[in-house]
Each structure stands twice: as structure tokens, then as C-alpha cells.
């Protein structure tokens, strides 16, 4: 089956000079996590919610004054409308994405196709692609700053140190968020903060058992904390909740990465599989529901 028979037309897109604030509000209104950036009908990049968090808010850029072309990801993963569905599914698996922009023969943007579109049609290659795609969010681009794996060193102690730093930074990020978020959601955020503190304590105990000094500083969540601080001035509480959701998705991906580390021992591996990874996944889902409720 051809992609032109499966794709969705009428794709929302941004011009390169659109502001980060425009992009954030368009994503929120459409309930999506990425938008293509198009110049003269041709895609020149993709801006994702993670681009906004890590490249704009966390860097202190002003959303009303910053153009999306300065924070977008210029590498675009695409297919052609006359491509076979099986070839598009393989492309998704290779690029680790769940959506592809669809271009016509002249290179103009004409639609978008998702892994779900292919799976609904019973495309066998889509099932293989679904098993191969591990990206935690639906991105249309490759290699965003926050989406790639972070290499760890130092064996199991190195992985433990990185995970502890992230858990401690996550707890601090939730404390920052609680200065902005009020109402019923605050109770959930306090509980998530406590969960991260407890996870850090458990991991620190295991690190001590290896005779390794506890790590100093903060992990990747520090960028999310800076983004929340910036979002307080420009966006509403829903934006803060969405930033937290992105952080939890990244945290879950980090635990999945740790499981692929051959230096991680059986005891730590069991802790991740049985407790830490499911907790991160559950928090991301819960925050997704809070974001959706705010949208309503």
C-alpha cells in the first residue's frame, strides 16, 4: 500500500520566523508534541516540545522574542507519498521515530504518517517497527538535544551515580514546580517529589555498598528545573506540568538505557525493572492526564 493512501493531509506547520510562544500554544491547542517548520512549502526542520524546554526555556530565551528556527531541529525524517508503507515503517524503525513527514515528488510537504496509521492497516512491517522504536515521545526529527542516549562510564558505579544525580535533581525540580502549581495537582506533585527522594536513597545505599562516594551536582533534570523557572514568567501551570511529564519520560528512557548496560548487576537490574522504571512510567502517564485535564 502506498503512503498517499494512508497519510493525513492538512498538516499544521510553522514558518521559521514564528516565535517559540507561537509554537508552544499551537502544540497545546492541537495536543501534539511537535510541528514541522516550513519555508516556501518545503520542510526545513521540526520543533518539538523538548526543543522548547531544553533549547529555549532552560537557556533563558524569551519565548515571545525567539524564532523557532533558532531552536528547531534541522534534521527531518521523511518519506515520499509514493513510497510503500513497508518502506516507511522500516524508515521509522531505523530513525527511532513514530511519525514521518510526507513529501511529494517536488519536495513539498503534503502530509504526515504515523506508525499507528500503518499498524491500523495491518502492515506487517509496522509491528516490527513498533518493537524497534523506543523514543519516549512522538518526534519527527532525529537527534534532538535531549532525546539521544547519554553514555555513562565507570561500570555499575557510574550508572548508579548518574541515576542518583537525576533522582535528586528530579526532586528539586518538583520543589521548584510546587512554587507555581496550586490546587489538586499540587498533592500529586508532592507525592512524586517524595518518590524521587526515596529512589535516590535506595540507589545511594547500593552505591555505598560498592564503596563509591555519592555524586555531587545535578543531572539532566536541572535543565527541566531551569525551564520551569522560565515558564513561570511566560506560560501557565499546564506548561509546567507538561515539562514535568517530559522529564519523567526522559527519566524512564534513562532507566531503559541502564538496563542495556552490561555492567549493571542483577540486583540493580531487578530494582529498575520491578520498581524504578514502572514508577517513572506511571508518573509520566499521571502527568499526561493532568495536562489533558488542564486543557479541558
pLDDT tens-digit profile of 127-177?
555 555 544 444 455 443 333 334 344 567 777 888 888 898 889 889 888
pLDDT at 212 over 50: yes
Q: Which CATH number fits domain 3-132: 1.10.510.10, 3.30.470.10, 3.40.50.800, 3.10.580.10?
A: 3.10.580.10
Helix axes 221-234, 237-259, angle to 10 degrees: 170
Pairing between β-strand 99-103 and β-strand 78-80 as defined by DSSP bridges:
parallel
Report CA dihedral (211, 213, 215, 216) to the nearest 10 degrees: 180
Cβ(117)–Cβ(141) below 8 Å: no
Confidence of residue 102 (pLDDT cuts 50, 70, 90): very high
Which range (87-101, 194-208, 271-285) has the least confidence? 87-101
233 HSE (CA, 13 A, CB side): 11
The DSSP secondary-structure symbol of 173 reads: H
- Position 52 scores a pLDDT of 84
Nearest C-alpha neighbor of 251 from the set 227, 278, 232: 278
For residues 200 and 180, give the distance between their C-alpha atoms in angstroms, rounded to a whole number: 24
Give the pLDDT score at 128: 55
What whole-number percentage of the chain has pLDDT above 70?
78
Q: pLDDT tier at 234 (50, 70, 90 boundaries)?
A: very low
Task: Work out the mean pLDDT of the chain and round it to a whole number.
Answer: 80
β-sheet bridge partners, residue 102: 79, 111
Compute the distance between CA of residue 10 and CA of residue 78 in angstroms, rounded to an integer: 16
Given pLDDT bands bounded at 50, 70 and 90, which one contains residue 75? confident
- Beta partners for residue 113, in sequence order: 100
Q: Which residues contact 264 (CB under 8 A, 6 or more apart)?
A: 156, 159, 258, 272
| The three cell numbers locating residue 216 | 555531587
Residue 10 has pLDDT above 90, yes or no: no
pLDDT at residue 140, rounded to an integer: 52
**C-alpha to C-alpha distance for 84 and 87, rounded to whole angstroms:** 5
Domain(s) of CATH 3.10.580.10: residues in the chain: 3-132
Whether the Cβ atoms of residue 125 and residue 85 lie closer than 8 Å to each other: yes
pLDDT at 137: 42
What architecture does CATH give domain 155-295?
Up-down Bundle (1.20)
Question: For 245-291, how does the pLDDT look when each residue is reduced to its tens digit (9 = 90+)?
Answer: 888 988 888 898 888 888 888 999 999 999 999 999 999 999 989 88
Which residues does 72 contact at the CB level (< 8 Å), separation at least 6?
16, 37, 44, 45, 46, 47, 51
In this prediction, residue 147 carries a pLDDT of: 39
CB atoms within 10 A of CB 222: 18
Between these two residues, 104 and 246, which has the higher pLDDT value? 104
Task: In the chain, list all ranges with CATH 1.20.1260.10.
Answer: 155-295
Mean pLDDT score, 22-32: 81
Q: Can you read off the three cell numbers belonging to residue 133?
A: 522504536
**Contact present, 37 and 68 (Cβ < 8 Å):** yes
Go through 72-82 and write b for each residue having 16 or more CB atoms within 10 A of its CB, e for each that does not: bbeebbbbbbe
- C-alpha to C-alpha distance for 138 and 79, rounded to whole angstroms: 16
Cα radius of gyration (the chain): 20
Q: Crossing angle for the helix pair 124-132 and 85-95, nearest 10 degrees?
A: 10
**pLDDT for the residue 144:** 39
Note whether 2 and 104 are within 8 A (CB). Answer: no
**Res 58 pLDDT > 90:** no
Amino acid at each position: 500500500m502506498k503512503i498517499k493512501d494512508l497519510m493525513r493531509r492538512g498538516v499544521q506547520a510553522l514558518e521559521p520566523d514564528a516565535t517559540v510562544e507561537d509554537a508552544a500554544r499551537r502544540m497545546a491547542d492541537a495536543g501534539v508534541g511537535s510541528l514541522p517548520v516550513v519555508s516556501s512549502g518545503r520542510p526545513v526542520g521540526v520543533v518539538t516540545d523538548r526543543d522548547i524546554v531544553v533549547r529555549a526555556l532552560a537557556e533563558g530565551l524569551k519565548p515571545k522574542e525567539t524564532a523557532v528556527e533558532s531552536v528547531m531541529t534541522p534534521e527531518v525524517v521523511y518519506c515520499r507519498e509514493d513510497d510503500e508503507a513497508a518502506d516507511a515503517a522500516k524508515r521509522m524503525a531505523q530513525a527511532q521515530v513514530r511519525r514521518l513527514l510526507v513529501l511529494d515528488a517536488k519536495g513539498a510537504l503534503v502530509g504526515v504518517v504515523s506508525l499507528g496509521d500503518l499498524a491500523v492497516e495491518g502492515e506487517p512491517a509496522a509491528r516490527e517497527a513498533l518493537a524497534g522504536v523506543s523514543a519516549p515521545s512522538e518526534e519527527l526529527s532525529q537527534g534532538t538535544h535531549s532525546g539521544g542516549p547519554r553514555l555513562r562510564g565507570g561500570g555499575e558505579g557510574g550508572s548508579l551515580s548518574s541515576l542518583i544525580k537525576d533522582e535528586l535533581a528530579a526532586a528539586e525540580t518538583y520543589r521548584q514546580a510546587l512554587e507555581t502549581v496550586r490546587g489538586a495537582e499540587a498533592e500529586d506533585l508532592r507525592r512524586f517529589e517524595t518518590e524521587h527522594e526515596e529512589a535516590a536513597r535506595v540507589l545511594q545505599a547500593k552505591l555505598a555498598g560498592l564503596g563509591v562516594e555519592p555524586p555531587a551536582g545535578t543531572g539532566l533534570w536541572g535543565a527541566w528545573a531551569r525551564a520551569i523557572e522560565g515558564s513561570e514568567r511566560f506560560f501557565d501551570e499546564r506548561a509546567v506540568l507538561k515539562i514535568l511529564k517530559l522529564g519523567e519520560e526522559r527519566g524512564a528512557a534513562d532507566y531503559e538505557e541502564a538496563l542495556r548496560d552490561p555492567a549493571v548487576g542483577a540486583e540493580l537490574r531487578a530494582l529498575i525493572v520491578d520498581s524504578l522504571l514502572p514508577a517513572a512510567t506511571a508518573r509520566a502517564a499521571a502527568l499526561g492526564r493532568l495536562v489533558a485535564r488542564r486543557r479541558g
